[in-house]
Amino acid sequence: MEAGAVTTAGTTDRYLLRGVAPLGGERVDMLLAGGVIERIAPEGTLWSDGDAQVVDGAGLVALPGLVDLHTHLREPGREDAETIRSGTRAAAAGGFTAVHAMANTTPVQDTAGVVEQVWRIGAEAGWVDVRPVGAVTVGLDGEHLAELGSMAHSAARVRVFSDDGRCVSDPILMRRALEYVKAFDGVVAQHAQEPRLTEGAQMNEGVVSAEIGLAGWPAVAEEAIIARDVLLAEHVGSRLHVCHLSTAGSVDLVRWAKGRGIDVTAEVTPHHLLLTDDLARGYDPRYKVNPPLRTAADVEAVREGLADGTIDVVATDHAPHTREDKDCEWAAAAFGMTGLETALSVVQHTMVDTGRMTWVDVARVLSSTPARIGRIDTGPHAHGRPLDVGEPANITLVDPSAVRTVVPTEQHTASANSPFGGRELPGRVVATFLRGRATVLDGAPVDGGGAS
Ligand SMILES: NC(=O)N[C@@H](CC(=O)O)C(=O)O
Ligand SMILES: [Zn+2]
Ligand SMILES: [Zn+2]
């Protein structure tokens, strides 16, 4: 029988996960009921009382539900590329139980009204918990601070603020934002891109850009902003998060800042862990992304930084785009790639299967640390918690021995701009549980599972 097959029908709020391997531990049976982990016992000792669905977990790793700090859901405004419903369904398929929805929508998520709308639509869809990110500046204009406090105190309880897609390049505004978020334990997530150094830039500045004649984007454009921002965070005693860090020099700067005790965290995307700027040679806009794919030396440095804890989390930067925006010549194409449904496989491939990280580390970088940075690690709706009795049953079951070829058109996201199409990747998400309710079973979203 295939691992993960549901063998006994039952009600949908009680699941018996039989023989799953929680992190670093012996195989156990786990009973999910009432939205929490009700019991954990040695394998073969828990039996369904007839009203629990049994999931055969033999060979599966049980992870705390994954948390993405950086997702673009595109609603409101670009529902042709993704909706909150399609994006969160894709997230569940990728093993996520919570995502942070970036603010660069239309209208921008810069008021309590817009963030509450995104949060409410996410809750109604019921696939994952949607945590809206609030814009730092009004309309992402980079000039006027948005009302961060009203977003923080809204029903959406925003804690992460970002103008992602654009850099908060004005140092005075960045300073004020860092000071402002302290009042509600928030964090400013910076898209580090010095705008003057990247005017017209199309790809990484280096050997390849010179050869193929595309305008280059120097590593220093990212590093200069990170250097400035860690010093600002130190100066005002606030919390900074660096989005999609991509260069070896950025890793060094974050390592230095942490060594000084500066309150900074950083993320790397799956694509920057695996792909290099060599891919731009074919002028295929699937590989056009912000920040750009870098060199093999940068890939090595971000892997090392993730393994040694300098980089805190892997975040997808899932950036869906329509065919019209992506199937065109390189210079005209939009920046961005999808990632929710391949993130765990890429992390397994680049970090676990290479011996650099264990599954315990994977749970840290894809669940507990992003939950802590987003301040969703406590309470009944907590994510990233250890899989213990009484904790919310947010669980992802992975089959690490599975191998699959990525077919973008078969994914659940509404857009097909995956850079991994045609690649063979290890690992498969077999099941995802959100507060004890299955959102994914047998590797497929449970449609009609509905909101809780
Ligand atoms: N990463 C990208 O290339 N694009 C993102 C914006 C961003 O993350 O900067 C998008 O919104 O499309
Ligand atoms: Zn960005
Ligand atoms: Zn982004």
Q: Distance between CA atoms of 316 and 192, rounded to whole angstroms? A: 16
Residue-wise burial string across 165-196, b where 16 or more C-beta atoms lie within 10 A, e elsewhere: bbbbbeeebbbbbbebbeeeebbbbbbbbbee
Confidence of residue 12 (pLDDT cuts 50, 70, 90): low
- Is residue 290 annotated as involved in ligand binding? yes
What CATH code would you report for 6-62+387-445? 2.30.40.10
> Does 2 score more than 70 pLDDT?
no
Count Cα neighbours of 119 within 13 Å in the Cβ-side half-sphere: 19
Give the atom of ligand 1 at the shortest distance from the alpha carbon of 104.
11
Residue 252, exposed/middle/buried by CB under 10 A (0-12, 13-18, 19+)? middle
Say what the pLDDT of residue 308 is.
98
* 3-state SS, residue 363: helix
CATH 3.20.20.140 fits 65-373, yes or no: yes
Q: Which residues are catalytic?
A: 317
In DSSP notation, 43-108 reads TT-----SSSEEEE-TTPEEEEPEEEEEE---TTT-TTT--HHHHHHHHHHTTEEEEEE-S-SSS-
Task: Tell me the mean pLDDT in the region 8-22.
Answer: 79
Reported as a single tens digit per residue, the pLDDT across 113-129 is 999 999 999 999 999 99
Q: Which amino acid is at 169?
A: S
Task: Tell me the mean pLDDT in the region 344-371.
Answer: 98
Check residues 339 and 49 and name the one with the higher pLDDT. Answer: 339
Looking at residue 245, the DSSP 8-state letter turns out to be -
* pTM score: 0.97
- Is residue 394 annotated as involved in ligand binding? no
Where does 226-286 show beta strands of DSSP type E? Answer: 240-242, 264-268
Give the atom of ligand 1 at the shortest distance from the alpha carbon of 193.
9
**Ligand 1 pocket, mutate which of 100, 191, 290, 294 (most atoms under 8 A from CB):** 290
Residue spans of the domains in the chain: they are 6-62+387-445, 65-373
Distance 26 CA to ligand 3 centre (A): 38
Q: Distance between CA atoms of 59 and 44, rounded to whole angstroms? A: 14
Reported as a single tens digit per residue, the pLDDT across 247-280 is 999 999 999 999 999 999 999 999 999 999 999 9
Q: Is 336 in the pocket of ligand 1 (CB under 6 A)?
A: yes
Closest C-alpha among 397, 401, 433, 441 to residue 19: 397
Q: Same CATH topology for 6-62+387-445 and 65-373?
A: no
Task: Tell me the mean pLDDT in the region 373-377.
Answer: 98
Reported as a single tens digit per residue, the pLDDT across 275-327 is 999 999 999 999 999 999 999 999 999 999 999 999 999 999 999 999 999 99
Instruction: State the CB neighbour count (10 A cutoff) for residue 450.
Output: 12
Distance 128 CA to ligand 2 centre (A): 22
> Does 7 score more than 50 pLDDT?
no
* Percent of the chain residues past pLDDT 90, beyond the cut: 94
